Amino acid sequence: MQRTTLNTMKKTVLITGTSSGIGRETAKLFQAKDWNVIATMRSPEQEKELTQLDNVLVTKLDVLDLDSIRDAVHSGIQEFGSIDVLVNNAGYGAYGPLESFSRDRILRQFNTNVIGLLDVTKAILPHFRQNRSGIIINISSVGGKITFPLGALYHGTKFAVEGISESLNYEVEQFGVQVKLVEPGMIATDFAGRSFDFSNDESMVEYQAIVGSLMTALPLMTQNASPASSVAEVIVEAATDGKNQLRYLAGEDARLLIANRQQVDDAQFIAGIKSQFGL
C-alpha cells in the first residue's frame, strides 16, 4: 500500500477496479482535477503508474473479499480524513450460451457485478450517513437497458444494478446521499480484453450459429467504441455537477441505442437486434 501526504482539504473518491480501463482512467482524471484518490484493485503490488501520482492511495480491494473491502474503506478514511464519492466500477462481462457456464462461473459473475457492488456500498454507507453527505456512482451499462444475444448473465447483472441504484436512492437521499448511474456503450478494448469472459461448448451444436453471429458482429460493434477516458469524464461530471440526476449516458453509441429503444416497441427492437446479428 502506497502512502501519501495527508490532504484533508481536497475531496476524496474511492474507486474499485482501477487496474485497467475505465477505473484507471477515472482515477487519473480525478487526480488531475486535484482530488484525493483511493485507487483500489485486487493486486496493488503490481501497480506501477498510479503509485507515482500525488494524493493517490493505491490499496487492495477485491469485491469478493469482505475483509479487503472493510480494510480499503478504513485505510482511505485514515489516510484522507473522509470519503466523499464512491465509484463502483469493478466488474466484467460473461457472454456465451447459458448451458455452457458452470454454476461457479454464474455465481462469480453475479458475485462480482452485483453482490460485490452491494458489499462495497454497505461498507461505506455508515460513513456517508454519519457525514450526511456522499455520492455513490454505480457503473452500469447500456446493457442494463437493452440486451444482446448470449449475454443473459452480464445483462442480468447490469439490469440488477439499475434497479438497485434507483431504489437505493430513495432510502439514502433522506440523509444527504445521492446514487447515480453511468451507462457506457461499447468501450474500446473492453470486449477484447480482461473484462470479457466468453464461454462456449462446441458439442452443443444448436448454439453454434448464434455464437458465430456474435463473434462476427463484435469487431463491427467495436469500431465506434468510446475510449475509457471519455467514460471517466462522465463519471467526474456526475460527481461534480451538483445535479439531482440519476442516469448519465456515456458514448454516442449509448445515446443512439437508448434513443432507438425508446421509440419502438419490444417486437420492433428485438427484430432490429436479430437483424444486426444476422439471426
Q: What is the pLDDT of residues 32-68, one digit of tens each?
A: 999 999 999 999 999 999 999 999 999 999 999 999 9
Q: Specify the CATH number for 12-276; select among 1.10.10.10, 3.40.50.720, 3.40.50.2300, 3.40.50.920.
A: 3.40.50.720
Determine which one of 19, 75, 140, 226 is catalytic. Answer: 140
Does the structure show a pLDDT above 70 at 192?
no
Predicted TM-score (pTM) of this structure: 0.93
Most confident range (mean pLDDT) of 3-17, 144-158, 255-269 is 144-158
Identified catalytic residue from 92, 95, 154, 207? 154
The pLDDT value recorded for residue 3 is: 45
Segment 81-124, tens digit of pLDDT: 999 999 999 999 999 999 999 999 999 999 999 999 999 999 99
Task: Show Cβ contacts of residue 37 under 8 Å, excluding neighbours closer than 6 positions.
Answer: 12, 13, 15, 27, 30, 31, 50, 53, 55, 56, 57
| Contact indicator for 239, 214 with CB cutoff of 8 Å | no
Q: Output the furthest CA–CA distance in the chain (Å, rounded).
A: 61
Q: Which pLDDT score is estimated for 278?
A: 78
Are 124 and 83 a contacting pair, CB within 8 Å?
A: yes
Residues 179-206: what's their mean pLDDT?
A: 84
158 is catalytic: yes
- 43 catalytic residue (yes or no): no
Instruction: Give percent of the chain above pLDDT 70.
Output: 95
Exactly one of 92, 158, 180, 207 is catalytic; which is it?
158
